[in-house]
Amino acid sequence: MKKGLLIAGIVVFVLVIVGWYIRTGNKIVRLDEGVAEKWAQVENVYQRRADLIPNLVATVKGYAEHESSTLTDVIEARSKATSVTVDPDKLNSSSLRQFEEAQGNLSSALSRLMVVIERYPDLKANQNFSELQAQLEGTENRIAVERRNFNDAAREYNTYIRQFPASIVASSRGFEKKAYFEAQAGSEKAPEVKF
């Protein structure tokens, strides 16, 4: 009788541990998929921006043909930015930094283009250009929102896989910490404005 209770107790204990392991593993998978889904949204809004650029360049080209080097810089930066892809399963700091660098170069090229555009009042008055500029500004806002959403999902995932006892399941199943989007170097300083 005592031996039967002991065996039943051991079986129940093993079933509880196995159940916990499965539930914890499933939660980690759900959180990991949440990070991948948020990453897909980040890529989606960056792609939207990249899709707007050819129309913007074509519109500007009609008004500012002698600004070809600026337009070429934008086109090249777009090409580089769209060629850098990151596998959601390998969201480490190195791959994310490479992605951010390519997107940052595109943002810089677009900023230079917008400065050039200030010299062309006819272009600024163009309806098509105004709509493209508004869409681009809206997309930049979406990028900021999606980056924040991604960081939130990555933080929740990273926190969970580092907590004991979930860390046991995470390490046994090969789940690793995800990288975050970080502010660009120097962004902590306010820009100096001179008149």
Query: Strands, DSSP E only, in 60-152?
Result: none
Distance CA 113, CA 102 (A): 17
pLDDT tens for 7-18 read: 989 999 999 999
pLDDT tens for 165-193 read: 999 999 999 999 998 888 665 444 444 43
Q: Which letter does DSSP use for residue 182 in this model?
A: -
Question: Full-prediction pTM beyond 0.85?
Answer: no
pLDDT tens for 57-85 read: 888 877 776 677 888 888 899 998 988 88
Q: Give the amino acid at 36.
A: A
> At the fourth CATH level, which superfamily is domain 2-172?
LemA-like domain (1.20.1440.20)
